[in-house]
Structure 1
Amino acid sequence: MQVRPADPAEIDHLAQVWHDAWHGSHASLAPPELVRLRTLPNFRDRLAAMLDTIIVMGPVGTPSGFCAIKSDELYQLFVSQAAHGTGVAAALIADAEKRLAARGVELAWLACAVGNMRAARFYEKSGWDNVGTFVMMSETSIGPFPVDQWRFEKRLARSA
């Protein structure tokens, strides 16, 4: 399987992947008010708005994971539970790092929910450093919502 751009026809499937993965890894860590706002339509709307930045991995029509970048940030990275441990996330993060480096980003960053130890271990294994905690204003349907996050950073090799 190759990393590829998301197809607009995959938005509903990707929204389900994101919804299930987010609720599986974040619902117990996030404030209840935020959990209530993280509905399937919310994930679908957010995906539609960033479709041109999304890469996926998996069968056409039913990808098992996706990654989006925004400015100097690895903005979203989610894979289905069935894809955990299969190399999908590693391929997606490597591709995101290449895309960020190609943009001239030298120091990339990502946010990870405080307490999401599985994700934190994956990021560290992938060469990212946890540089501390900050409050991120997460996008919601009712406006920005403050959430404690770990900030991970990685120096990227310059693209040739």
Structure 2
Amino acid sequence: MTTRDLARRTAADLSALLAADSRAGHAWQQRMWQIVACLCADASDEEALRTARVRFEGLYAAGRDFGDFHLWRTDPQERAAVNERLAALTGRLRDLLHMPPVTLRRARHADAGRVAAIWLAGWRDGHLGNVPDELVAARTPETFRSRAEARVADTTVAEVGGVVGGFIMVARDEVEQVYVDAAFRGDGVADSLLAEAERLVAADGHPAAWLAVVPGNARARRFYERAGWVDDGGFDYVAASVPVPCRRYVKQLKP
């Protein structure tokens, strides 16, 4: 999923909020509608984002912030809730419109150190407490480094502003690894990487992709399910000679 796709989704949520306003018609709201229309137009990512960014910045006057923009509701609690939602969406859209684009490329040997660091931190985040202690003991920092170096040919990285923010490893029909640096989570990097993993599996001639995720990694499971992956049941995934109870997720791919 591209930055523009995420901006479009946020803009759509914002437009729904604006449409429900009983006193719509303020100039700033009309400009928001223009931004929504721009992001949904049939234009290239860069062109649409550039135009939307210019219009978005035009909403600012000297010393003005989005805290000055309010939606009206009769009930005070509802009014507070809807304006909290407005602040969250406008802030999110501002971040997306000014975020450097996500660029995918094949990994190089020079990336191995960065990939290993992301892999180690992400693996610990999702697996500590969810896998056997024997596997935790086997997964030393050096093993991540050596595995990253050995798997360069299977690795695709995502760069954000020239910095590697995440990576995938694909082998035949299995999406073996999907990891994003914590600093880049929520910015569409994971969506872009997973979509690329699916494309690579399909390009290799496989009708479906699969991956393993430990049951206790709820955040990862929610992410895969939102992307259309289906829990196909439990099985033991052998890692470092240790059987690890996992859930097998699958997704049928378009040819």
TM-score by length of structure 2 reads 0.58
Counterparts of 1:88-107 in structure 2, within 5 Å, are 88-107=189-208
Report SS of the residue matched to 1:58: strand
Q: Which has the higher strand share?
A: 1
Report SS of the residue matched to 2:164: coil
Q: Could you say what the CA RMSD is over the residues aligned between the two structures, in angstroms?
A: 1.3
Q: 1:103 to 1:95 in 2, by over 3 A?
A: same
Q: 1:61 to 1:48 in 2, by over 3 A?
A: farther
Report SS of the residue matched to 1:64: strand
Counterparts of 1:103 and 1:85, CA distance in 2: 29
Farther off after superposition, 55-64 or 86-95: 55-64
Counterparts of 1:41-120 in structure 2, within 5 Å, are 41-59=142-160, 62-120=163-221
Q: CA deviation at 1:62?
A: 4.0
Farther off after superposition, 13-22 or 42-51: 42-51
Counterparts of 1:81 and 1:27, CA distance in 2: 16
Q: 1:49 to 1:60 in 2, by over 3 A?
A: farther
**1:34 corresponds to 2:135:** yes
What code does the residue aligned with 2:222 have? R
Q: What count of residue pairs does the alignment treat as equivalent?
A: 154
Structure 1: gaps of 5 or more residues = none
**1:2 corresponds to 2:99:** no
Does the 8 Å contact 1:130/1:150 carry over to 2? yes
What code does the residue aligned with 1:84 have? R
Counterparts of 1:144-155 in structure 2, within 5 Å, are 144-155=241-252
What code does the residue aligned with 1:135 have? D
Q: CA deviation at 1:44?
A: 1.2
1:27-77 CA distance string (max 9 Å, x none): 121111111111111011111221101001025874110001011101111
Report SS of the residue matched to 1:67: strand
Report SS of the residue matched to 2:246: strand
What code does the residue aligned with 2:249 have? F
Q: Which has the higher helix share?
A: 2
Does the 8 Å contact 1:13/1:62 carry over to 2? no
Counterparts of 1:135-146 in structure 2, within 5 Å, are 135-138=236-239, 140=240, 144-146=241-243
What code does the residue aligned with 2:246 have? Q
Name the counterpart of 2:91: none
The share of aligned pairs that are identical, in percent, is 38
Higher relative contact order (CA 8 A, sep 6+): 1
What code does the residue aligned with 2:251 have? K
Counterparts of 1:52 and 1:23, CA distance in 2: 24
Name the counterpart of 1:129: 230
